[in-house]
Chains A and B, each alone.
Chain A
Amino acid sequence: MSRDRPVIRGLVTVIVLLVAWQVVVLATGAAHFLLPPPAAVFATLIHQAPRLGHHALITLVEILLGLGFGVVLGAAAALVLAYWPPARRWLLPVLVVSQAVPVFALAPILVLWLGYGLASKVAMAVLIIFFPVTAAFFDGLRRTDPGWLDLARTMDAGPGRLLLLIRLPAALPAVASGIRIAAAVAPIGAVVGEWVGASSGLGYLMLYANARVQSELMFAALIVLGAMAVTLYFTIDRALRRALPWQPDSLPDFNQEK
């Protein structure tokens, strides 16, 4: 029973939004190309399913590759920062400044360097994901309970085992927060990359449809992208929750849904 409730809530929200959409279309009599009615978009979703699927798959691969590389690189950077003090003095400011430059501004350069294919989009996603993961993991590594470190010292722990058995697991909940943020922003990187220069992917498809005033197709692509991003976030959130069962969830709402 309790497992179904969020699904039902989600369905109710979707239905309410669809009805509101239809009402706006009927009430304003908006031109078809400005706001297509939901039924038309739905028909396009079905007609164009293979084409949408093809482009969605490419975007999904870009997002997942970006997420994978971003998390690995971010984690590696956090470890370097935590264990090599000069890196904190030299690398950390560079990282912070790199985040101040909008990724949108870097997109054309990345496409110029890495081409129109997958690589530039993956690089884009990595750039966006990297920092939240590094920041969260580094913070987690820094905040190991000093009592645990004292205990480990009286137990004659070496630095390697201390990292592996205490510091790393203690930082995992923080890493998980970083990965959740990464999962939420990864699609931005991929789609921005596709807008700037691509021959496939949902971002490309949306620009293509927009230029040809195929509003139904644009909306259909948008819906697929949204569904993909939401599914990705919740899959990752659920997997992280399952992987870290000791992490306390102090919000009562979350406990009920489990």
Chain B
Amino acid sequence: MIESRPRGGAAAVPSVAVGNARLRFGDTLLFEALDFELAAGSWTCLLGSSGVGKSSLLRLVAGLARHEPPTRVSASDGQPLAGRIAYMAQQDLLLPWLTALDNVLLGTRLRGQPVTINKVAEARRLLDDVGLGGRDGLRPAALSGGMRQRVALARTLMEDRPVVLMDEPFSAVDALTRIRLQDLAARLLAGRTVLLVTHDPLEALRLGSRVHVMSGFPATIGPALIPPGPPPRPVGDPAVLELQAALLQSFTA
């Protein structure tokens, strides 16, 4: 399979900085004066237990949550982030009435861009890349959970955005499928600025160039852990396993 680098070219991939972020959920202060950075062209993983506010932080970057002052979200090239992010969630968010192919083409249609032969061919190729060649006419109901998440990955790639935000995208599938999907995503999204939010230390350590732990109320973000070796790292990698053990211990302590 081919690595699918952003067609815009590596120069167009910015880093993203979140500065002085503050967010409340109802009356609870989730975090305050929070600084966080996504390095350009690599995977940053944000690890934390559920409810700590990591998804909220991702939504803040995605422009899906309202910015509370004095929160700043900016790209290193000074251009606005809107229109340059792709979003992948824990649910596949496939539309049940559309075929796999039409689901991949959803963004094109939503923006009112013409669905040209080239676009269709590209969507087919991306479905091929995620291992679903020949299944583009099937509706989501006819696909397994893992296959649906593959379609969602193809849809994310079709958006061809330099910044990709993923909110526990592989947590709803079984362990084996999860590892295959992680490998696939690592290969296909290489070269983009990726934020992966997860509660699975192994996932973060396999995929992240930098791994941050988010914890506490209000939440703070720890310093970057930098696992050795290029992602995706093997499941049995001693360094990965050692770091995983240390992380789990620090969580349960």
Contacts and interface: CB of A to CB of B under 8 A. Distances in A.
Interface of A: 145, 147-148, 150-158, 161-162, 165-166, 169-170, 172, 244-246, 248
Interface string B102-142: 00001101111000000000000000000000000001110
Interface residues of B, number: 26
Nearest to A166: B95
Nearest to B111: A156
Contacts of A244: 97
B110 A162 contact: yes
Contacts of A248: 141
A151 B139 contact: no
B88 to A, nearest CB: 9
B86 interface: yes
B11 interface: no
A165 B106 contact: yes
B81 to A, nearest CB: 10
A161 B110 contact: yes
B224 interface: no
B63 A153 contact: yes
6 contacts: A150-B87, A150-B93, A166-B110, A169-B95, A244-B97, A246-B97
Contacts of A162: 110
Contact of A151 (B82, B93, B96, B97): B93
A169 B109 CA distance: 14
Interface string B51-90: 0000000010011100000000000000000110111010
Residue of B59, B62, B95, B159 with highest tally of chain A CB at under 10 A? B95
Given A155-B159, A156-B83, A246-B96, A150 B64 contact: yes
A155 B110 contact: yes
A147 B167 CA distance: 12
Given A154-B85, A156-B82, A165 B93 contact: no
Nearest to B141: A246
B91 interface: yes
A6 B139 CA distance: 29
A161 B109 contact: yes
Nearest to A147: B93
A77 to B, nearest CB: 24
Contacts of B95: 148, 166, 169-170
A155 B160 CA distance: 11
A154 B89 CA distance: 12
B139 A165 contact: no
A245 B165 CA distance: 32
